[in-house]
Amino acid sequence: MDLILEPAVMEQQINAIQESCLVKVDELLKIKQKQDQDKAAVRLHSLNYNVNKGAISSSKSKELKGWNVSELQIQGNSLAN
């Protein structure tokens, strides 16, 4: 038994399917945008960390030579600034 739909009913079903597809595409687009934002934030955080780490290691390296571990622990707060 073949199911034959009237053109008006078929058009309504097609419209409903298209609308649900567009809603799904919008949801996926929002997810992708959020992922891109998160990825950019991680890269920026990593870049800031590497820049700060490099700045500390290059500017403080001469000061740190000859210090022992206990002196570094005592001075730890001043090194972060």
Structural domain boundaries of the chain?
Answer: 7-80
Residue 58 has pLDDT above 90, yes or no: no
Residue 7 CA to residue 28 CA, distance in Å, equals: 31
Residue 37 has pLDDT above 90, yes or no: yes
Residue 31 has pLDDT above 80, yes or no: yes
Region of 66 please: left (phi>0), alpha (psi -120 to 50) or beta.
left
Residue 68 CA to residue 19 CA, distance in Å, equals: 68
Amino acid at 23: V
Write down the pTM of the prediction: 0.48
Tokens coding 10: 């078929």
What value does the mean pLDDT take over residues 28-47?
90
Confidence of residue 48 (pLDDT cuts 50, 70, 90): confident
Residue 32 CA to residue 67 CA, distance in Å, equals: 49
